[in-house]
A = this chain, B = another copy of it.
């Protein structure tokens, strides 16, 4: 198939309506292609788009199945559209990396939002490692930003390591919780709670007492576990944003817990107020910019590591020697460090 270029970066940025939606879809399809020539074209396009990116607010949302993510995101999306925003919803579904099919990919989950032309909903890339899926989603986020979507929501289900991936590509990470006590302990145990900038107790209308109890418990847990937990929050990458010795500390965001009922439509405005407050605090103290810079560099190194591992495993000499090395190391007849050195030498052509 010859490589067609039906649009340029500029066309994607300036087009509107259905033409732009088609351009976005084609660009993302190009980004997800594994063909080398497509990838080269995608890299070129992405670099051309880059000056038009970064102007959206990037909101990560996670929560266990049943917490009501779709209902919440649809309510939020409609609320934001009503206030003049354009909203893109991207999804990282860790199950898709195993099954090739996405449990979150069904657009009918957000019926009203998906038919609104001010919203763009894209299901999870449906194959590859979690790292690969996350990379495609990061790139799709840039495409949506270049197309003028000023709110990008990246959603993931609260299983596996995908929360860390979403937290690592967004300005703010929101954790949805149910109003019961066991739930938050799981999130603490898995280290997800400490990623959260905001915890939303959804379905609070079901049991107001339980929701209030959960709010108190999670607030107390965040105080214990959340404050210094996330390096992306705890450190400012570069110098000019305070943190020098005894300089006056700038305002710091303290993770919050709020109640909400997406189904009956209460609390979405309070949620958005909290998001805007977060954005304002993080912009003033420089952490929004620092977090993005840190994320971009971490993303670069993550992709380098993945590329190095892939090249290693695909190297003919390594492929030939690896099965025996694994068997010998497992059987205890070859020291692990010696096996590693031998395999590295074989890749380098020194064996």
Footprint of B on A, CB under 8 Å? 39, 43, 46-47, 50-51, 53-54, 135, 138-139, 142, 185, 188-189, 191, 194, 224-225, 229, 292-293, 296-297, 299-301, 303-305, 307-309, 311-312, 325-326, 329-330, 332-341, 343-344, 348
Contacts and interface: CB of A to CB of B under 8 A. Distances in A.
Contacts of A330: 293, 296-297
Contact of A142 (B50, B194, B299, B335): B335
A47 B139 contact: no
Nearest to A228: B189
A317 B34 CA distance: 25
Given A307-B341, A308-B312, A336-B303, A329 B296 contact: yes
A308 to B, nearest CB: 4
Name the prevailing secondary structure of the A interface residues.
helix
B189 A229 contact: yes
Specify which of A142, A304, A312 lies most central, judged by the most chain B CB atoms within 10 Å of its CB.
A304
B297 A338 contact: no
Contacts of A224: 185, 189
6 tightest A-B CB contacts, nearest first: A303-B340, A299-B336, A300-B336, A308-B308, A307-B344, A43-B338
B312 A304 contact: yes
A334 B47 contact: yes
Copies in the complex: 2
A281 to B, nearest CB: 22
Nearest to A135: B337
Contacts of A191: 191
B335 A139 contact: yes
Contact of A311 (B43, B139, B335, B344): B344
Contacts of A333: 50-51
A236 to B, nearest CB: 13
Contact of A304 (B142, B194, B344): B344
Contact of A47 (B138, B189, B335): B335
Contact of A338 (B46, B229, B309, B337): B46
Contacts of A50: 332-335
Contacts of A39: 341
Nearest to A185: B224
A300 B47 contact: no
26 contacts: A43-B337, A43-B341, A46-B337, A47-B335, A50-B335, A53-B332, A135-B337, A138-B336, A138-B337, A188-B225, A191-B191, A293-B330, A296-B329, A296-B330, A296-B332, A297-B329, A297-B330, A299-B340, A300-B325, A300-B340, A303-B337, A304-B312, A304-B340, A305-B305, A307-B341, A311-B344
